[in-house]
Structure 1
Amino acid sequence: MTNLTRRKFIKRGILASLGLVLLDSLWFEKYVIEWNYFDISKSEKDKIKIIQISDLHFNQLRYFHKSIAKKINSIKPDLIFITGDSVDKTEKIKPLNKFLELIDNSIKKYAITGNWEYWGNVNLTKLKSIYSKNNCELLINENRTIFIKNREISIIGIDDFVGGSANFRKAVENIKETETNIILSHCPEYRDIITKQKGSLNIDLVLSGHTHGGQITFLGIVPFKPQGSGKYLKGWYKESEPKMYISKGIGTSILPIRLGARAEMVEMEI
């Protein structure tokens, strides 16, 4: 092999590698959704099936959104939790509505705000209306107690920690402590405040998003995590109570790529 041929070979190898990285970051990790399933139920009886949707950053209805809705309908969850950053602008509420309309309307849904609903000056009245139309309640420092499958569950929705006015004490006012208490909090860093303020209230699970799993990572290196991430990145945190799961979410923010942080949907049985 001559020097020229060797140089061509190396150059082509580098170009091919770059092409694969671009394919991965611009297409595969964004649109080929990773579905993760966890069974954290305390018994085999009366399990409740939930789906977590996070960080949609909805722009327009695309084929993979339709695929997500189709799979949700096939799973037939009892509850859906939408953990913030659904839209970045008020005008994106309409395409979000088109997505929600694809999901079985009989499935009860609960949503919270993320930082981008505030940073994008999203009209929360319109957002709340669209959610309501699709059997979804937007909880802003509020709680709801529901009876499902012979069980009582309290769902606590925290306003966004970075862009909004997160207030755990307000969110749990007049709460009926039940067998299962679940917190929806967009920014995982707020878990540290919950831990300090929860007192004797038993918290079974905190569901968060926000970090996008780092969105762009390389060999375990995470160059950037958004404000409100704290020491957290993705997945389970069980080293202390309350246990928390952070979804990597569906969409992207700032840069339209994902690398080492594949888009994610979460299914759990509790």
Structure 2
Amino acid sequence: MNQTDQPNNNNAGKMSRRRFLAAGTLGLGGLVAGDALLREPHAFKIEEIALPVAKIPPGRELRLVHISDLHIRAFHDYYQRVADAVNALAPEIILITGDFLEKDRNLADVRRFLELLQASKGIYAVQGNWEYWARLEGENMRRHLARAGVTLLIDQRHDLDVRKVPISVLGLDYPSPVDRLEKLQQQADPSRVNLLLSHVPAFQHEELDGRIDLILCGHTHGGQVRIPFVTPYYLPRFSGAFVSGMYRVGPTATPLYVTRGIGTSLFPVRFLCRPEITLLRLHAT
């Protein structure tokens, strides 16, 4: 046998390693794709935030639950599990910051989900961009939500007391223009705990004058697909530099919290960005 006729063991070894690496890469890609498409979009996480508020008397604590960006195309087990988890937190108030539905306008299933929610002092909400895009905004949406026990605030203030703590929920309608912010802020009583709901996090924070104690927002979905140490590839308009979590904004460093939301938009995908139910525990300083 000539030397050239002998098998090249080095080349065979290289091919085996390449095949192994290719198979491993494909397998890893399949796992990532499966997680992003099948598991993570329905693997919600409860985020618990404790926030001191000077207006709350010593020894008292308010339990609020914040959810957003439901994007209910059809009611299924996932939304039942979300409702059960929200109710298990025993919230005194539930706050929803918009995007209940999408262009299919599935109000029947939106109402089915909302009717499951329980809060001793009520459920309050604002609209998001999808309510406008679906052309179900305004009084029409208000009536539908009211049938499910939800109070829709359109540039309005709603007052309530929770264990003798006076609270105002202020609903800033999408897309939170400055003139509406100024008018709504003028309605805020500085002696009350003032909670501002806005679907979008990026608006004129420089106009905040200290009367607002907490701002709650959604809209960003946390980016939906996150790569560590990398800015999200896509954030919708009016997100600004806000992705998810707690920020301090405006001249008086008002706390602003952005939730990752419950549903998905554009693509039914999440990666390293699980859906979120937020429990906010407001207590004395």
- For normalisation by structure 2, the TM-score amounts to 0.86
Matched, 1:254 2:266: yes
Q: 1:107 to 1:98 in 2, by over 3 A?
A: farther
Offset, 1:23: 1.7
- The residue type equivalent to 1:10 in the other structure is L
Out of 213, 216, 223, the residue aligned to residue 214 of structure 1 is 223
- The residue type equivalent to 1:264 in the other structure is E
Moved >4 Å (runs of 4+): none
Instruction: Please say if residues 37 and 270 of structure 2, whose CA atoms lie closer than 8 Å, have aligned partners that are also in contact.
Output: yes
Instruction: Please say if residues 34 and 264 of structure 1, whose CA atoms lie closer than 8 Å, have aligned partners that are also in contact.
Output: yes
Count of residues in correspondence between the two structures: 265
Out of 242, 253, 267, the residue aligned to residue 232 of structure 1 is 242
SS at match of 1:2: helix
**Structure-2 residue corresponding to 1:45:** 59
Which whole-Å CA distance do the structure 1 matches of 2:143 and 2:120 have between them?
17
Q: 1:178 to 1:146 in 2, by over 3 A?
A: farther
- For normalisation by structure 1, the TM-score amounts to 0.90
- CA deviations 1:243-265 (Å, max 9, x no partner) are 11100101111112112221111
Instruction: Please say if residues 80 and 109 of structure 1, whose CA atoms lie closer than 8 Å, have aligned partners that are also in contact.
Output: yes
Offset, 1:134: 2.5
Which whole-Å CA distance do the structure 2 matches of 1:133 and 1:64 have between them?
22
**Structure-2 residue corresponding to 1:109:** 123
Q: 1:46 to 1:75 in 2, by over 3 A?
A: same
> Greater CA radius of gyration, 1 or 2?
2
**Structure-1 residue corresponding to 2:257:** 245
SS at match of 2:159: strand
Offset, 1:90: 6.3
SS at match of 1:167: helix
Q: 1:89 to 1:170 in 2, by over 3 A?
A: farther
* Matched-pair identity in %: 29
- CA deviations 1:185-217 (Å, max 9, x no partner) are 111101xx1x33233x42111101111111122
Which whole-Å CA distance do the structure 1 matches of 2:31 and 2:234 have between them?
23
RMSD: 2.1
Matched, 1:24 2:38: no
Q: 1:168 to 1:214 in 2, by over 3 A?
A: same
Structure 1: stretches of 5+ with no match in the other structure = none
Which whole-Å CA distance do the structure 1 matches of 2:119 and 2:243 have between them?
32
Which whole-Å CA distance do the structure 2 matches of 1:54 and 1:166 have between them?
24
